[in-house]
Amino acid sequence: MCETHHDIETERQRTETYLTLLRTFRRHIENYCVSHSNCREDAEDMMQEVFITVWENIGQIRSDSSPKQVNRWLQKVMRTVFVRSIRRKHIDDNSPLSSAIGIVDDDHSDRQLLDELMAHLPPDDRQLLQERLDGYSNVEIAERLGILPNTLNKRMSRILTKMKEIYSQLYETK
């Protein structure tokens, strides 16, 4: 299929908007990423993810958006990327959900304990929890399932409650 003049012009405009945004806000993005990370390498990874996310969503910026509106949108993008990086880091550091469910256990690594508790969950609940551990947000999981995010939030809350109960049954003395 051949590209029309309109398609080429739209892509050119999209690219120009992206480059203008980067020229205008690059220092701001860099400062945010450096201030919200532990090392330069993490900051660079986060910046790269911000740049990719901005490119993928550049169409959300209207041509008549004020710099203040663009800055607010960019703040939201950076905050989302930061939260994702924290989730991934917690997963990588083997300390993902034990604090969320209020478990402290010196005899098990967090990931080992989490795996043991998840083994007692029904397969559907295990799958949802695994998707969270893989870094997907409740919104992303809800979209995949075709349900409302609030419905998934309630379900995740029930799963975490089940895990607390399982932990109590397995490890706490009566």
What letter represents residue 63's amino acid? S
CB < 8 Å & 24+ apart, contacts of 55-59? 55/18, 58/14, 58/17, 58/18, 58/21, 59/14
Cβ proximity of 98 and 63 under 8 Å: no
Domain of residue 87, residue span: 5-92
CATH of the domain at 156: 1.10.10.10
Query: Span 141-156, mean pLDDT?
Result: 88
Task: Please tell me the pTM assigned to this model.
Answer: 0.50
CATH of the domain at 60: 1.10.1740.10
For the stretch 21-54, pLDDT in tens is: 999 999 999 998 888 877 888 889 889 999 999 9
Instruction: Please check whether residues 114 and 150 belong to one and the same domain.
Output: yes
